[in-house]
Chain A
């Protein structure tokens, strides 16, 4: 989430609350035809050149939130076309997850260096002198960059004494760590599916809100109304997301009031993943595999699979905390239907995997959950609770912050086998993940445990968050300190067998 994009965030969230309300009330879905009028009433445009275009874009958001595909602007569709297929109480998610709302995209020009009005055509003109391709000349009014010759090294910008040269890039493309943003015939963003890892960074960075993922809240709420075995599992970054007055226990109770029978911390699954990855590392590195990559961040593992297929075998076989937590619940209640609530949209894809789909049935974000609280009129800070939450060790709760996974595995491995010392390295942007994998592939990270996270700062910076990074980091650390145990080896909830050295 980019907090300063206030208007965009508000439109997105109003759509979530609207769809959630319709689902809880069992409204006639024909009402979707006029829902954009309710969200954007009147005849004066607030956000764009025309209220009609604004509403058309909201209609695409309504469709994507229902789990439908965005419409092709070249063909006639009603807002509700295809609606009966998604008016069900099970997950009907279909790829692609990340969608460009084509007519919301303003076709920003691609990356270039520009000379602005600040240029004074100075006598020294260092911009021309430092250019390795001789692309900069002094024109009548200001310096001119020959875009054909320019190789975008940025030396002219760095040397200009008047800050007259700026780098310009499409925010979606600049945010994408795997160069998956291309252009269509009108210059609008188009996603290269072979490269996209569904991290969602383009969604949060686009200043026009032209990219959106799909939601499952409608089908989830229908399922909550009909199924009595609905469980929620909530990611370690949930702290502080739902307002400064909502305590962890109140958040858990609020989730139950939405229709779930129980809520479990995904940090419990993180503890299990830690134990498995620590043992796996001690067993396999360096004899069977040269290094090991963590398996928690789905976009990181997809990136390795797509861009470094021969290295994919070195990613840990241990399931992610989401899956381990779901397996824990499934063991206790075989009829359980499990919803993962987190900061992450990539998990929506992980849940489709063959080895995961029987455990995780729905995936929603914190933002979507907040829309459900509003739809149901739940005030978290007013709920009376007595229990405190104690599912996980401090180390499992630390998974939310970049570096937390590797630290947990390293510490636990040292407890299991004090004679071994594990070298760890962690990065937390997709750009850095790619760089790290290049080094690993070249054999420069042998013996290492590599932690890759697609979002800058870790899961606390995921696209589905509501609170700022600093706010959440503070709350996560506070909750970590309240944990009854430090190490997953001490977590009594986990099978004794797994905790044995």
Chain B
């Protein structure tokens, strides 16, 4: 599963590095309980500013894209829940 975490300036200011740390930890959580998850690999990538925040006046940062689908105002818990629901057996 491809997970892209925007680490542009606005997203970094509002916590995208924490989301990256939490995704590292999620890999550990899955490893500890491997038999309950599919063996799909989490491919986490930190990416340059996607420009979502620059096209709008709305608050969108941080942005995380999971399998092509963007999540705005992403929080660690929402991102992890979405991933876990996709790979839990």
Contact = CB atoms under 8 A, between A and B. Distances in A.
Interface string A234-258: 0000000011110000000000000
Interface in B26-76: 46-49, 75-76
Contacts of B75: 6
Contacts of B8: 243, 379, 381
B21 A373 contact: no
Interface string A446-482: 0000000000000000000011101100000000000
Interface in A350-364: none
A378 B18 contact: no
Nearest to A4: B18
A393 to B, nearest CB: 28
B65 to A, nearest CB: 15
B9 A380 contact: yes
A378 B10 CA distance: 10
Contacts of B49: 379, 381-382
A254 to B, nearest CB: 9
B15 A468 contact: no
A317 to B, nearest CB: 39
Nearest to A468: B21
A374 interface: yes
Interface stretch (A9-17, A66-74, A269-277, A485-493): A9-17
B17 interface: yes
A470 B24 CA distance: 12
B76 A244 contact: no
Interface in A318-375: 370-371, 373-374
Interface in A1-27: 3-4, 6, 9-10, 13-14, 17
A467 B17 contact: yes
Contacts of B47: 245
Contact of A370 (B9, B18, B20, B21): B9
B15 to A, nearest CB: 6
A10 B46 contact: no
Contacts of A370: 9, 12-13
B21 A378 contact: no
B48 A381 contact: yes
Nearest to A371: B13
Interface in A207-249: 242-245
B78 to A, nearest CB: 11
A48 B18 CA distance: 23
Contacts of B20: 244
B80 interface: no
A373 B9 contact: yes
Contacts of B48: 245, 379, 381-382
Contacts of A471: 17, 21
Interface residues of B, number: 19
Most B CB within 10 A of own CB, among A244, A467, A468: A244
A379 B8 CA distance: 6
Contacts of A13: 13-14
A468 B15 CA distance: 11
Contacts of A468: 17-18, 21
A9 B9 contact: no
A244 B7 CA distance: 7
Given A6-B76, A380-B9, A243 B15 contact: no
Contacts of A17: 13
Contact of A9 (B10, B15, B76): B15
Most B CB within 10 A of own CB, among A9, A378, A381: A381
Contacts of A244: 7, 17, 20, 46
Contacts of B76: 6
Contact of A374 (B9, B17, B46): B9
B7 A10 contact: no
A3 B21 contact: yes
B13 A245 contact: no
A242 B47 CA distance: 13
A243 B46 contact: yes
A382 B12 CA distance: 14
B56 to A, nearest CB: 14
Given A243-B7, A244-B46, A466 B21 contact: no
A194 B43 CA distance: 52
A263 B57 CA distance: 33
A6 B17 contact: no
A242 B8 CA distance: 9
Nearest to A41: B59
A380 B7 CA distance: 10
A13 B15 CA distance: 10
Nearest to A16: B13
A379 B9 contact: yes
Interface of A: 3-4, 6, 9-10, 13-14, 17, 242-245, 370-371, 373-374, 377-382, 466-468, 470-471
Give the top 10 A-B pairs by smallest Cβ distance, nearest first: A243-B7, A243-B12, A3-B18, A244-B46, A374-B9, A373-B9, A370-B13, A381-B48, A374-B13, A13-B13
Given A6-B76, A370-B9, A380-B9, 5 more contacts: A243-B16, A245-B46, A370-B13, A379-B9, A471-B17
Interface of B: 7-10, 12-18, 20-21, 46-49, 75-76
15 contacts: A3-B15, A10-B15, A13-B13, A13-B14, A17-B13, A243-B8, A243-B9, A245-B46, A245-B47, A373-B13, A374-B9, A374-B13, A379-B9, A466-B12, A466-B17
